[in-house]
C-alpha cells in the first residue's frame, strides 16, 4: 500500500506532462506570453484539487475553496479521459495512417463521455432487495433505506443533499442507515451551509443510524460527531441499538481506528436469536462476518471505482465490491455510494440507494 502511494504521484506527474506535450500544438505558433500563460494555467489546474484539500483548514472563503475543489477534481478526470482518448486515437492512426485529427476527436470523445457521466451521476439507481431471515421479526416486515458515501462538503452541497433527502423520504422507510462517509474532507463547509437543516428532514419512525467511515476521521471525527449531535442521525460507534421489533443494529467503528472493537466482542453484546444488522463502512473480511452470525451487513467505501476502468480494480481488491450477495449465512450489501468523492461523474458505475425489506 505504501508503494502504491509513492507510485501514484509519479504516475500523475507523468500523465500531466504527457498531456501537456500532446496539447502543445494548440499554442505552438502563438506568441511567447500566450505559451507561458498556457503552461501556468495548465499547471494550476493540475494542482488545484490538491491545493484545495491541503488548504481545507485555512481561513479562506468557502466559495474559493469549494470552487478550487470542484474545478480541480473535474480537471483530473478530464485529463485522465483525454489521455485514454488520445491513446485510442493513436491506435486508430496506426491502423489507418490517413487519420490525422487525433487531438480534436479525442476532445469530442472526452466531452461526450463526461456529459454522459454527469447525467448518470445525477440519477442514482434504487436497488430493491427482499430478504427472508430465519429469525423472527415482530410485526410487519422491516423496510430499510441504506445509503453510504454521501460525502457532504464542497463536492456534495446542500442542494444535492436536499435531493437525496427527498429521495429517501419517498420510500417511507421504517429505518434509515448510513454506512459511513456522510462527511467528506472537512466539516467546515457542512457547518457553514447549515446542512443539519436538511438532515433533520429525514423521516424514519425507527430512527436514522450512522456508522463512521474513513472520511469522518479525515474530517476530524470528534468534530463530525459533535455536528451530528445537532441532527436526528445517531452515531453507532462500536455500539448497538435494538429496534421495537427486536431487530438489532450494530455500528462498527471504521478501520481508521486501530483500537475499534473486534467483531466477536461487538457481537457478544447482541442476542444471537434475533436479527443482527451490521454497519461497517469498509467491506473487508466478509468471510469472517458470514461465519460470525451476522444476518445482514451494509457497507460502502468502494464507490465501485466510481469511473471506468477503476471499477475493474475494485472488483479485484474486494471480495464484494458492490451490490447485493447472499453468502453462506449472511446477506451482504455494498453500496456504490449515493453520491461520490471528487468529480461529479459516474462512468461505468452507478450511484445507488438500497431499499431492503426484511421479513
Task: Enumerate domains of the chain plus CATH numbers.
Answer: 2-121 (no CATH), 125-358 (3.60.21.10)
347 touches 307 (CB < 8 A): yes
C-alpha cell at 342: 471528487
Radius of gyration, CA atoms only, the chain: 23
Taking each continuous run of H as one helix and of E as one strand, the counts in the chain are 12, 12
186 touches 237 (CB < 8 A): no
Q: Does the model's pTM come out above 0.85?
A: yes
pLDDT of residue 54: 82
List the alpha helices (DSSP H) in 220-275: 221-228, 263-267
pLDDT of residue 245: 93
What values do phi and psi take at 242, rounded to 5?
A: -110, 125
Asked if residue 57 has pLDDT above 80, the reply is no
- What number of other Cβ atoms are within 10 A of residue 206's Cβ? 18
Helix, strand or coil, per DSSP, at residue 284: coil
Asked if residue 184 has pLDDT above 90, the reply is yes
Interval 226-278: pLDDT, tens: 999 999 999 999 999 999 999 999 999 999 999 999 999 999 989 999 999 99
Amino acid at each position: 500500500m505504501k508503494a502504491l502511494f509513492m507510485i501514484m504521484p509519479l504516475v500523475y506527474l507523468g500523465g500531466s506532462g504527457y498531456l501537456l506535450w500532446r496539447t502543445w500544438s494548440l499554442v505552438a505558433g502563438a506568441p511567447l506570453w500566450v505559451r507561458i500563460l498556457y503552461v501556468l494555467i495548465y499547471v494550476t489546474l493540475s494542482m488545484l484539487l490538491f491545493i484545495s484539500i491541503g488548504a481545507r483548514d485555512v481561513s479562506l472563503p468557502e466559495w474559493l475553496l469549494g470552487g478550487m475543489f470542484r474545478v480541480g477534481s473535474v480537471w483530473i478526470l478530464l485529463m485522465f479521459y483525454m489521455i485514454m482518448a488520445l491513446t485510442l486515437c493513436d491506435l486508430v492512426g496506426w491502423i489507418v495512417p490517413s487519420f490525422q485529427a487525433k487531438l480534436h476527436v479525442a476532445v469530442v470523445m472526452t466531452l461526450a463521455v463526461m456529459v454522459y457521466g454527469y447525467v448518470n451521476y445525477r440519477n442514482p439507481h434504487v436497488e430493491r432487495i427482499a430478504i427472508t431471515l430465519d429469525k423472527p421479526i415482530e410485526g410487519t416486515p422491516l423496510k430499510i433505506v441504506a445509503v453510504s458515501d454521501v460525502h457532504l462538503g464542497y463536492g456534495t452541497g446542500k442542494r444535492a443533499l436536499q435531493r437525496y433527502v427527498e429521495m429517501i423520504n419517498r420510500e417511507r422507510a421504517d429505518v434509515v442507515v448510513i454506512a459511513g462517509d456522510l462527511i467528506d474532507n472537512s466539516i467546515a463547509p457542512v457547518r457553514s451551509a447549515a446542512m443539519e437543516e436538511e438532515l433533520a428532514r429525514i423521516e424514519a419512525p425507527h430512527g436514522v443510524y450512522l456508522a463512521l467511515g474513513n472520511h469522518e476521521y479525515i474530517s476530524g471525527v470528534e468534530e463530525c460527531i459533535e455536528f451530528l449531535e445537532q441532527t436526528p442521525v445517531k452515531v453507532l460507534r462500536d455500539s448497538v441499538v435494538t429496534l421495537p421489533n427486536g431487530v438489532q443494529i450494530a455500528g462498527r467503528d471504521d478501520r481508521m481506528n486501530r483500537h475499534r472493537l473486534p467483531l466477536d466482542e461487538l457481537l457478544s453484546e447482541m442476542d444471537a436469536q434475533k436479527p443482527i444488522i451490521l454497519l461497517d463502512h469498509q467491506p473487508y473480511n466478509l468471510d469472517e462476518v458470514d461465519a460470525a452470525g451476522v444476518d445482514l451487513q451494509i457497507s460502502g467505501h468502494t464507490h465501485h471505482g466510481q469511473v471506468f476502468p477503476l471499477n475493474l480494480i475494485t472488483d479485484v481488491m474486494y471480495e464484494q465490491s458492490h451490490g447485493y450477495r447472499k453468502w453462506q449465512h449472511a446477506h451482504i450489501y455494498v453500496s456504490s455510494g449515493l453520491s461520490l468523492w471528487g468529480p461529479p461523474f459516474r462512468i461505468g458505475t452507478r450511484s445507488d440507494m438500497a431499499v431492503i425489506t426484511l421479513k
